[in-house]
Structure 1
Amino acid sequence: MFLSKLTINVRSREFRRDYANIHDMHRTVMSAFSTVDTDTAPRQEQGILWRLEDAYGGFVQYVQSRTAPDWTRLPFDYLTGPAQVKSLQPVLDAVAPGRKLSFRIVANPTYAKSQGPDVRGRRFAHRSPDKQIEWLVRRGESHGFVIPVGGDGHPDVTPSPCPDLAGRKTDLNGKITVLPVRYDGHLIVTDPDTFTDALCTGIGRAKAYGCGLLSLALPRTQRQ
């Protein structure tokens, strides 16, 4: 597994185009990876997840992948400097039962509302912080981790709103709207294999559009 850190040039015309249309940003990220001959969607086959973060008045983009990217394929002025690419193996090696870790994830917490018998439920975004936290706690139960209780007696995680993600696919009915939430907190690994799978494949919906990438670090008190 690889993790890339890209420092974005906000003056780039191509980045401004991508920022205005999340589907274009997805295509730009995918342009750094070779085409694979498989029935599985290329993003899933290569384990590609990404997240865009504010940084020093600009943006940093993190991209995780199973295969090595070639960021020289980006438009010439898309970045302010060379991409930083490192192996995620040390992170994977740190996964163990009972291990407590700090985490950050931008996710798309949604729920389905029934539209009637035999009708597929329409999805809506969770908008209240309590519901957003409940959503992540439930995901933890199926992805091999729990969120511990903090000193205030509540789950040790803080949800923060992110700018809405919007765009359009090429077809006329391809409107995209995602209401992402950033979570920062602590988790405890309960099932290493299931958790590692979640780490590699992402959590939740809208993975092609900047959601689902789980980033880990040692808790502050354990850092050197």
Structure 2
Amino acid sequence: MTYLSRIWLNPLRRGAQGLLRSPEKMHAAVLGGLSRQPVTERVLWRLEAGQPHRAELLVLTESTPSWEHIVEQAGWPHSDEPQVLVRDYQPLLDRLDNGREFRFRLRANPVSATRSPTNPSTTQKEQLARPRPRGVRVPHRTAGHQITWLTTRIDHWGFTLIDIEDAGPALQLSARERLTFHKKAQEDQTTGRRVVLSTATFDGAVCVTDPHRARHTLLHGVGPAKAYGCGLFTLAPLSPTTPGGT
């Protein structure tokens, strides 16, 4: 089984502010929602912070999750309104027929591998100095390069971009961010290496061209930095009046 969860976060609470600032803390909170520890299943998540009064956390898990700890720490624990929605993902997977059209959203970390980066970091220099180096990841920082990164890959993900009347253009680059944080060292939980991510959020419309690849894309995500909220490819109905979306 696979489940897609939506958890509302209150950005005025200190606990939520800590999660919103740190992808590493958010990842730890997400893994804390699974009873089987240490977590070995595939987990994908994405933060939607476009609303001023509440943020939305989407999480895709293979097992049934429990999000009470996030609601207590970062939500509205005593609200009458539901703070968590958990849906079975299989009905959407079953609708991925050839030719089916959807809206999509993806927050990704667009990168390419190269053996000759322009300004290699110390870590990259060490990697390139090894025997038979495989290359290092270099982020795409401009909007044009980020869009090209997606358009040259989406066919391999089982989809093709489409323009639909009244559904908006096939592709929009709706957000771009540069995230910087320190990843804690595992041994003593002190401040470890500095992590810098260039993320891009894509919105648009797609048509399913390969149902098998499309299901793999939804279940396994795309690109690197999945632990930090990237890679979750979600679909929603084309009609803007249709509630919900996955």
Q: TM-score normalized by structure 1?
A: 0.85
Helix, strand or coil for the counterpart of 1:56?
A: coil
Q: 1:168 to 1:218 in 2, by over 3 A?
A: same
How far 1:208 sits from its partner (Å)?
0.7
Which amino acid in structure 1 is aligned with residue 49 of structure 2? Answer: D
Which amino acid in structure 1 is aligned with residue 10 of structure 2? Answer: N
| 1-structure distance, mates of 2:108, 2:240 | 26
- 1:66 corresponds to 2:62: yes
Which amino acid in structure 2 is aligned with residue 49 of structure 1? Answer: L
Structure 1 equivalent of residue 213 of structure 2: 194
| 2-structure distance, mates of 1:199, 1:149 | 21
How far 1:180 sits from its partner (Å)?
0.9
How far 1:191 sits from its partner (Å)?
1.0
| 2-structure distance, mates of 1:15, 1:223 | 29
How far 1:111 sits from its partner (Å)?
1.5
Structure 1 equivalent of residue 119 of structure 2: none
Larger gyration radius, structure 1 or structure 2:
2
How far 1:5 sits from its partner (Å)?
0.9
How far 1:34 sits from its partner (Å)?
1.9
Which residue, out of 138, 145, 159, partners 1:124?
138
How far 1:221 sits from its partner (Å)?
7.7
Structure 2 equivalent of residue 138 of structure 1: 152
| 2-structure distance, mates of 1:148, 1:160 | 17
Helix, strand or coil for the counterpart of 1:34?
A: coil
How far 1:173 sits from its partner (Å)?
4.4
- 1:52 corresponds to 2:37: no
Q: TM-score normalized by structure 2?
A: 0.78
Identity, % of aligned positions: 30
| 2-structure distance, mates of 1:222, 1:137 | 27
Q: Report which stretch shifted further, 205-214 or 53-62.
A: 53-62
- 1:178 corresponds to 2:194: no
| 2-structure distance, mates of 1:8, 1:15 | 6
| 2-structure distance, mates of 1:94, 1:75 | 31
Q: Deviations over 1:6-59 (max 9, x none)?
A: 11021332222223322111111111112357xxxx3xx423111111243131
How far 1:84 sits from its partner (Å)?
1.3
Unaligned stretches of 5+ in structure 1? none
How many pairs are equivalent?
215
Are the aligned partners of 1:14 and 1:78 in contact in 2 as well (CA < 8 Å)? yes
CA RMSD of the aligned region, Å?
2.5
